[in-house]
Structure 1
Amino acid sequence: MSDSDKVKCACPDCVCRVNPNEAIQRDGRPYCGEACANGHSEGNGCGHKNCGCHG
């Protein structure tokens, strides 16, 4: 899969792109990981390189 086939994580502060078939789906929106999908409820970032999101 090329990067052009990936979609942006639905977390507003996240810069990650994710394969829609492998994304964590919440309310019909794709997320790159549990932290983003859970709204960073524990204050942790997604942990992906070069991404500083924390919700």
Structure 2
Amino acid sequence: MTDVTTVKCACADCVCVVKTDGAVEKDGRFYCSGECADHHKDGSGCHHAGCTCHG
């Protein structure tokens, strides 16, 4: 059996890959940041280099 240690951020617009042990987990999904996990309620992106997501 293989353990998954990295996944793509669950935010549809985000291109980030995140380690499952360091991700923000919400509703059983893994996110790279609180902004993505909160669906960009304040309009800000995840602020990671090269990613332009805003929900």
Q: TM (normalized to structure 1)?
A: 0.90
| Partner SS, residue 25 of structure 2 | strand
How many residues of Structure 1 are paired with residues of Structure 2 in the alignment? 52
Q: Which residue of 2 aligns with 1:31?
A: 31
Runs of 4+ in 1 over 2 A off after TM superposition: none
Aligned pairs for 1:1-55 within 5 A: 5-55=5-55
Within 1, Cα distance between the matches of 2:6 and 2:28?
Answer: 16
Highest Rg: 1 or 2? 2
Find the residue that maps to 1:35 and give its secondary structure. helix
TM-score by length of 2: 0.90
Distance 1:52 1:6 in 2: 20
Q: Any stretches of 5+ residues in structure 1 without a counterpart?
A: none
Amino acid in the other structure paired with 1:32: C
Rounded to whole Å, the distance in 1 between the matches of 2:49 and 2:22 is 18
Deviation track 1:3-53 (CA, whole Å, cap 9, x = no partner) reads xx4210000000000000110000000000000000000000000000000
C-alpha separation between the residues in 2 aligned to 1:48 and 1:34? 12
Q: CA RMSD in A?
A: 1.3
The alignment-based identity, stated in percent, is 53
